[in-house]
């Protein structure tokens, strides 16, 4: 009877240990599954990050290209503007010079006309006095 009690005790201990072992196996399986899912998520996240980084590098290169193009265009526009201003200033100076020449010619003609008018008046006065 004593052996049966010892055997029953050992069977209970074995049963408890088997139950604990099964629970630990279950926990280990769940932990492995959780780790596998985390690894998959990490892999996906890592791939996404590499794609974003590659996209950023492409965008950065495009932005630098666009910046160069716009800076070049802005420089050309500024140079064109300066050239046009210089041409307009030169044209304005030419027009002012031409105007001065016309004013001088007009004043000379007016002077001559006044002298002629005066001579004419004197000639008429001299003709009338005779």
pLDDT score of 4: 86
Give the mean pLDDT of 83-92: 98
pLDDT score of 3: 85
**Token reading at 116:** 């002629």
Give the mean pLDDT of 77-96: 98
pLDDT score of 26: 97
Does pLDDT of 123 surpass 70? yes
Q: Which residue range(s) make up the domain with 100?
A: 1-130
CA atoms in the 13 A half-sphere facing the CB of 112: 6
pLDDT per residue as tens digits for the range 25-76: 999 999 999 999 999 999 999 999 999 999 999 999 999 999 999 999 999 9
pLDDT score of 59: 96
**Using CA atoms, how far apart are residues 39 and 46, in angstroms rounded to an integer?**
10
**Token reading at 85:** 């201003």
Domain count, the chain: 1
Does pLDDT of 113 surpass 60? yes
H helices within the chain, ranges in order? 2-129
pLDDT score of 129: 60
């Amino acid at each position: 009877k004593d052996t049966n009690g010892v055997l029953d005790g050992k069977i209970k201990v074995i049963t408890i240990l088997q139950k604990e072992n099964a629970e630990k196996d279950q926990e280990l399986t769940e932990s492995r599954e959780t780790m596998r899912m985390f690894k998959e998520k990490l892999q996906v996240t890592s791939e996404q990050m590499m794609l974003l980084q590659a996209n950023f590098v492409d965008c950065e290169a495009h932005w630098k290209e666009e910046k160069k193009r716009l800076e070049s265009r802005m420089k050309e526009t500024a140079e064109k503007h300066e050239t046009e201003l210089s041409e307009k200033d030169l044209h304005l100076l030419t027009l002012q010079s031409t105007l001065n020449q016309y004013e001088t010619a007009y004043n000379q003609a007016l002077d001559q006309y006044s002298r002629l008018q005066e001579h004419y008046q004197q000639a008429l006065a001299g003709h009338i006095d005779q």
